[in-house]
Structure 1
Amino acid sequence: MLRTTGLPVLALSHINDAGYWIFTKLSGLNVADGLRTWTVMTTLLGTLGFCITLLIWPFV
């Protein structure tokens, strides 16, 4: 249940997320490059998490 509620939120993360700013500052990226990287990364993680949830759902 946690997987189905938590992962879509990750995919919808945006520039006002504290995780974005931590990632951008620690990576040394500017705002535009950080947003480009963050958007792709969180979308992939959210989509992958959704696919994994669909795969394990019949076994739960």
Structure 2
Amino acid sequence: MRVRFTQDYDYKPVPQVTVAYLAGMVKTVKRDCGRRAIEAGKAVDITRQKDEHDGNEVSDRAGA
């Protein structure tokens, strides 16, 4: 999952580990981390959806 952190966020996958993310970072993170950060209001999901088009696709129809 790709997220942009809007505020500093500390992710604790286990009690002995803390991963610090700073506001403004754009990172690919584990889904659990991304979900928790979004629920805490400290990140937004910027994962590109598979059905989004960027306008660079070539049509498979002739003349289209």
Q: TM-score range by the shorter chain?
A: under 0.3
Larger Rg belongs to = 2
More strand by share: 2
Looking at secondary structure, tell me which structure has more helix per residue: 1
TM-score, L = length of structure 2 = 0.24
Q: Which has the higher contact order (CA 8 A, sep 6+)?
A: 1
